[in-house]
Every structure is written in structure tokens, then in C-alpha cells.
A and B are shown apart, each in its own frame.
Chain A
Amino acid sequence: MLSLTLGTMITITSNHWVTAWAGLEINTLAVIPLISKSHHPRAIEAATKYFLTQATASALMLFSSMTNAWSSGQWDITQLTNPPSCLLLTAAIAIKLGLTPFHFWFPEVLQGSSLTTALLLSTAMKFPPTTILLLTSHSLNPTLLSTMAIMSIALGGWMGLNQTQTRKILAFSSISHLGWMTIIITYNPKLTLLTFYLYSLMTTSIFLSMNSTNTLKLSTLMTSWTKAPMLNTTLMLTLLSLAGLPPLTGFLPKWLIIQELTKQEMTTTATTISMLSLLGLFFYLRLTYCSTITLPPNSSNKMKQWSIKKPVNTLTPTL
């Protein structure tokens, strides 16, 4: 855990490519044992997939920085001048973050890891590549980034529709939120940061509340009201906030992003991504419906089954 913070700090505060790469490698190496801690076959498989994808992404990033260094003579992160290097770097960071078309590892890896590790994977591990994107955003190709972002939002919505495992649903929600973050990065990077912070806050509260009731499937979610009723209502609010409904906090980044896109004369893009996030709204609503509004078909009991961890998140949806 400490090496995770170390790796993140190294990458964030770096201005030389090799220190950024070193921080990312430290992060990857530190999180692999966290994924494979339980020695379950699914966990080992998730660790394998995670390791392969992240290692190739790191190597690709190093290669792009090396070609940039050979063609321009310097190793500064903010000065990427070689166009093939920019393309390779965009591909590398897309693999690391899980943007489409490189998103295939993400739901499976989240499914194979425990809930707290999945939380770490989807919030903390996304932070260093996002900072690298922010540092280099002025020299990357906006068309490519916008295309990947729109495809991410589309795929995140579509593929999440048929899922019943909560970790996979959260993986697809993560993919579509990443799409929202990426679409604005070349125009207003501060909005990307805002989206990232709010997204990580909301996702943290959802993961922690799921962790305290141990809901891994949709059917478990239906009986979670017996274990901690107050937690269930706040879970509902947080889910709707993640979907982006207006009076809740999750609507704020979407609103600002759409405003910024219309300022840049990209109204068709803004309309497209709003329509595509309706797909995500469907599965968030289904989660809300299953957890709070309906009663389960199987028998439920009012017994508290195990000790409940502190519900920290009763406050976060009200932010």
C-alpha cells in the first residue's frame, strides 16, 4: 500500500519520462499481489491479465518517449513533438486506463479481485496515467482522443446492460466515466480533474457500501436492505449520483463538460455523449430498483449477519 502511494507520487511529480515510467511500474508491481492475495483461480487469472496489459502499456510508453527523445533531443514530459510518439503514447495511456478499444481487460480484472482491491484499481490506479495525459494534453491528437472517448461511453453503456455481477457493472461505469473525462481533456483539463475527483469519491462510497454488505451479485443486492437499511438508501442516492441525475453531485461534471463542448462548437458530440449516457442510466436505475425499491422474491431475514464496517458514505452522496 505504501509503495502504491510512493509510485503515484513519483509519477505525479515527474518531469522526465523515465521517472514517470518508474512510478507506473512501481504501481503495477505493488498492486499485483493485492489482486492475487486470495489465491483463488479467478484472482490469479485477473492478476495475469492485469500484469500483461499494464506491462505492455508501460513498455509502449517508454518506447514512445525514447523515439521522442531521439528526434527532439530532450526528455521533458510537456514537450512531445514527434507525432508517432504522440500516437504511441495515446495508445499506451489508453491501455493503462482502459479506454476503448483497449478496455477488454478491465471488467475481467475487476471481477477477479476483491471489492477493496477493485476500488483501488478503479480510482487510485487511474490517477497517474491521467496526470500524464494532463501534462501532455496540448500535444495529443484531439480527434483520436474524442473518438476513443465517444466509443468508451458507448461501450461502457452497452456492455453494462447485460451484467449481473456488481463488479463488472462498476467496471463498465468506470469505462464510461473515463470516456467523459477524456473527451474534455484537450479543451479544458481542469474539468477532467474535477470529473476524476468526483467520480473517485462516488465510486469509493459505492464500493465501500458494497463491501460492508458483501454484495457481489444483483440477487445479493436485493436482500441487502435487511442488513443495513440506512446504507441501502444512501447507496441508492449514490448510484443515481453516479448516473448523473440533476440534483445530485454527479450531474455537475456532465453539465460543465457539455457546456465546454458547446463552446468549442462540438454540439453533435455533446448530444451523442448525452444520449449514450442514457444507456448507463438504465443499468444504474436497475441497480437502484433492485436494491431499494423492490422486495426480493426469496425469503429475507432481519438478522445482522456479520459486523458492519463503518458506513462512511452516508455523508458523501450529500456532497
Chain B
Amino acid sequence: MSLIHLSFYSAFTLSSLGLAFHRTHLISALLCLESIILSIYIGLSLWPVQNQATSFTLLPVLILAFSACEAGTGLAILVASTRTHGSDHLHNLNLLQC
């Protein structure tokens, strides 16, 4: 079982590194965020399978619902920033410097 644990821990770590080191496009940050949530979802779906407790199967569905809302909001922000800044390049987000 710990091989599966290793797989979603490493998926989470890789996605968070991708989120931390995104370079040019905002959309890559959003993609990494989604993959973080996806790895958490997969890890959480294993819980009722392993522990034979079917009442916990609600949790991944709840997380999926909230993360879908969040993804929608992220995409809306992407669209809004493309409308105001011209592209989703991260170099353009420098209007608020000290």
C-alpha cells in the first residue's frame, strides 16, 4: 500500500514545485493547482477503500465540488487579467510594485 502513498505524495510534490516555479504563463500555475487538488482527491478516495468505511466516500465528492468552483474562479480571473493586461504573461503583472 505504501507504493500508492508514494505515488500521490510525489504527485503532490511535483505539482507544488510546478506551482512554485511557474515562469511565463498564468495558466500553468492554474494547471498545477488543479493537479494538486487531483492528487489530494485520489489520495482521499483510497481512504474508504482501504478502511472499509463507506461513510467516508462523501469526502472526495465534496472536495471535487469545491475544487471545481475554484477552478472556475481561476479561469474567470485568467480571462479578466487577459482582458486588462493583454496576455497572461506573468511579467505584465507589475502594476502594484512598491
Contacts and interface: CB of A to CB of B under 8 A. Distances in A.
B98 A45 contact: no
Interface of B: 5, 9, 12, 16, 19, 26, 29, 33, 36-37, 40, 43-44, 47, 51, 59, 62-63, 66, 69-70, 73-74, 77, 80-81, 83-85, 93, 95-98
B77 A47 contact: yes
Contacts of A52: 29, 33
Tell which of A22, A42, A56, A66 has the most Cβ of chain B within 10 Å.
A66
Given A29-B73, A44-B77, A56-B36, A63 B93 contact: no
B72 to A, nearest CB: 9
A143 B63 CA distance: 33
B2 to A, nearest CB: 10
Given A59-B33, A66-B44, A107 B98 contact: yes
A41 B73 contact: no
Contacts, number: 88
Interface string A19-39: 001100100110010001001
A134 interface: no
Given A42-B95, A56-B19, A51 B77 contact: yes
Contact of A59 (B36, B69, B81): B36
B81 A60 contact: no
Contacts of A163: 98
Nearest to A22: B66
Nearest to B69: A29
B80 A36 contact: yes
Interface of A: 18, 21-22, 25, 28-29, 32, 36, 39-42, 44-49, 51-52, 55-56, 59-60, 62-63, 66-67, 69-70, 73, 107-108, 111-112, 159, 162-163, 168
B66 A45 contact: no
A36 B77 contact: yes
B95 A32 contact: no
Contacts of A22: 62, 66
Given A52-B33, A55-B74, A62 B63 contact: yes
A52 B90 CA distance: 12
